[in-house]
Amino acid sequence: MAHSIANKGTVAIIGAGVIGRSWAATFVAGGYTVKISDPNPEAGKRVFEDLPNSIAEIPQTSFSAADIKALMKHVTVTPDTDEAVKGAVAVQENGPEDVGFKSKLFAQLEAVADADALLISSSSGITPDKIGAKMKNPGRVLIGHPFNPPHMLPLVEICGGPNVDPALIEKAVTFYRDLGKAPAVLTRAVPGFVANRLQCVLVMEAIRIVESGVVDIRTLDQIVLNSLGPRWASVGPLLAGHFGGGPGGLAGIVEHILNKLAAGMGIAPVSDATIKTLGKLVNEAYPPEDMPRLAKMRDERTEAILDFRAHQTV
């Protein structure tokens, strides 16, 4: 991430809650002037208390106290949405998860913002078509859904409405990538997008296991910390499964292990046709000739995670 001070233009942040403040830290540290709008009279106080700490926490950066003080001069807070939005290159909205609020706000943004400004919602649950329902051009709405807190976790899930212009998606990808984020484009909005769907199925099963008395809460967390966690932080679940499936790879582990286990857990099996397709797709995603390098990458990362934890003192 660039350590440059505010020379890329202005980003408007709507809403100075936890997510809005974390985004504000990300954008100002990434070289933007940040204008935050929030009707709460306490918003300014919270922003100026909170942002210096958040900026200091951003991975792969090391701002001095003086740097941070200088950056904070490029942050303003106002109750006036129009004032924040006018002239901004991008708007990142973090208001209440309420369709009425968001659809009204985005019509206002469309009227006030520059014609080429990115209009992005952090919404985790409302689809772009609903957010844009009152706009002249609803296709301008994008979702840029972060993983909390945005100033620390790289993921931003991006999607648009049914008729979104691919060039607009590409512009958002570039915008976030330039900030050091890891944008992931979804071809369409689905409830929970991807990360929260995956979190949902795993946490719900974890709670059921605890509920059934097989292990307690701490033991469940320790189990993940010492197995799936380091693997999924190293290569993700599908490549991890591809490695774990022996000669059959991901398709093999689904056919021989997961489908059988799933049946006993009341989960519908993956069809034979999908297993076949999966075998093809996974070999395209991770070509056989690249697997030795990927295995080395996985093992180095896993070992680094275990080493860090073993020597951590906090």
Q: What are phi and psi of 13, to 5 degrees?
A: -110, 125
Least Cβ distance, residue 256 to a second copy (angstroms)? 10
Nearer to a second copy, 5 or 210 (CB): 210
Tokens of 37: 């709008």
Q: Which is closer to a second copy, CB of 64 or CB of 219?
A: 219
Q: Which is nearer to a second copy, 2 or 204 (CB)?
A: 204
Amino acid at 69: K
Q: Which of 31, 23, 120, 114 is nearest to 74 (CA)?
A: 31
For residue 146, the cross-strand partners are 156
> Counting beta carbons within 10 angstroms of the beta carbon of residue 17, is it exposed (0 to 12), middle (13 to 18) or buried (19 or more)?
middle
We find the least distance from the C-beta atom of residue 176 to a second copy, in angstroms, to be 11
* Residue 116 or 216 having the CB closest to a second copy: 216
Q: State the minimum distance, in angstroms, from the CB of residue 177 to a second copy.
A: 12
Write down the least CB distance from residue 281 to a second copy, Å. Answer: 6
Q: How far is the CB of 96 from a second copy (least distance, A)?
A: 13
Question: Would you say 1 and 180 are in contact if contact means Cβ atoms under 8 Å apart?
Answer: yes
Q: Which is nearer to a second copy, 65 or 308 (CB)?
A: 308
Shortest separation between residue 110's beta carbon and a second copy, angstroms = 27
Burial class (CB in 10 A: 0-12, 13-18, 19+), 88: buried
Peptide bond into 269 cis (omega under 30): no
Contact 195, 157 (CB under 8 A): yes
Nearer CB in complex with a second copy: 111/207: 207
CA distances from 230 to 135, 147, 201, 227, 305 (A): 44, 18, 19, 6, 7
